[in-house]
Structures are given as C-alpha cells and as structure tokens.
Amino acid sequence: MGNSFKTTLITYLVFILQWLIFLSCKKIYKGNKIDKAPHVILFWHGRLALMPFAFRYFRQKNKKAYVMISHHRDGEMIARIIKLFHLNTIRGSTSKGASTALRSAFKVLDEKDDIVITPDGPRGPYRSIADGAILLAQKKNVKIRLLNYEAKRFWKFKSWDKMILPKPFTTLIYRLSEPLDISNLDKDEAKKKLLACFKHIEELDSFKE
C-alpha cells in the first residue's frame, strides 16, 4: 500500500509540475492538425516531458490516440501520467512484448485511431528508429507523422535520452510534420528518411543565439 500511495503521489506531483511549466510558457504551434486518417505518430523519448500538451492542440475531436508504453519500470508511472491527460495507452513496446503490443496497435489503426511511439524508447539507442514503427506503418499502409517541440530555455538531464525539461516562462515551439509515406521504402531507407525529417524539424525550430 505504501508503494501504491507513493506512486500515486509522485504521479500527481509530476502532472501538476507539467501544467505549471506549460501554462507559464509562450506557445507557438506549427503544422496542420491531425486529420481523420489513422497515422503512426513518432516523437523522441527525450521530448516526453511536455509532449502530452501537443495532443491537446493537434488531435482530431472524437479521434483517439494510443501511446505505446513499455513494461519497463518507469512505464507504469508514465502510463498513469498519460491517463491524466485523457490519452490512451498500449502496454508493451515494439521490441519487448512486441507481438501483443503490435496486435493491439494493428487493431487501433483498423479503427482509424492513431498510434503514438517513441521510436528510440524505452532504453535507446539514442535517436534511433525501432523496426516496429516501420512495420506498423507499412503493414497497415498508413503514413507517419513526426511530432517535436523545442524550448528556448531548458534543463537537460544526464539520462540516455538527454531528456529536456523546459524552464518556466520560456518559449515553446511545437511542430507536427506533414504525413510521410514510407510504403515503397525498405526498412533502412525508411529509417534514413525519418531521421532526416526529424533533423530538419529540429533545425527549423531551434533557438539559435
């Protein structure tokens, strides 16, 4: 019971902190909102901290987004926080517990909802694209959209994913890419294309001195 209470308390404290930081910041949104077609949406694990707010802006009304969360020890906490933002989850990853997670993801896409994946999660390698993200998009013939945010001022953690936490009262730029078609690419070509697109987005929205 003690561990459950502690987890619940930390969950709400993190949730409140996220809101306090987000509300204090200036927000700029770039890119078209999600349309009715199902998509596989990717964002880097290191941008997890304030990413739930992106879905409040970009998502289609009455269309669900299912975030794939691993069974890693931090996954339960992340899943609880995401639930507070009224987002759905699929437990498992495209590498660990893959078959169950992929079957659930296929069903979500069949129902015209979106699957959200951190392609380098839960443990890296840093800024890598998991095979499962490619498999999902190609098997179901859906397009991929990339989601990112950049902050003018932030703290960077010494974690494998180089997680950033924007500082209060800074400026945030959220961007959702146009749909990317990887249907005719092999796995390695698809990964190269997505990595190049991620890099382009980051360069567009970087705060250069």
pLDDT in tens, 44-79: 999 999 999 999 999 988 899 999 998 776 778 889
Widest pairwise Cα distance in the chain: 52
pLDDT (tens place) for every residue of the chain, 209 residues total? 467 788 889 999 999 999 999 999 999 999 999 999 999 999 999 999 999 999 999 998 889 999 999 877 677 888 999 999 999 999 876 555 567 888 999 999 999 999 999 999 788 899 999 898 999 999 999 999 999 999 999 999 999 999 999 999 999 999 999 999 999 999 999 999 999 999 999 999 999 75
Where exactly are the structural domains of the chain?
2-205
Which residue bears the tokens 């098997």? 139
Measure the CA dihedral 100/90/76/54, to 10°: 150
Q: What pTM value is reported for the model? A: 0.92
SS3 30: strand
Angle at 102 between CA 94 and CA 42, to 5 degrees: 55
Q: How far is CA 111 from the centre of its chain?
A: 20
If 0-12 CB within 10 Å is exposed, 13-18 middle and 19+ buried, where does residue 111 land? exposed
Q: Which ranges of 50-97 does DSSP label H, i.e. alpha helix?
A: 52-58, 75-84
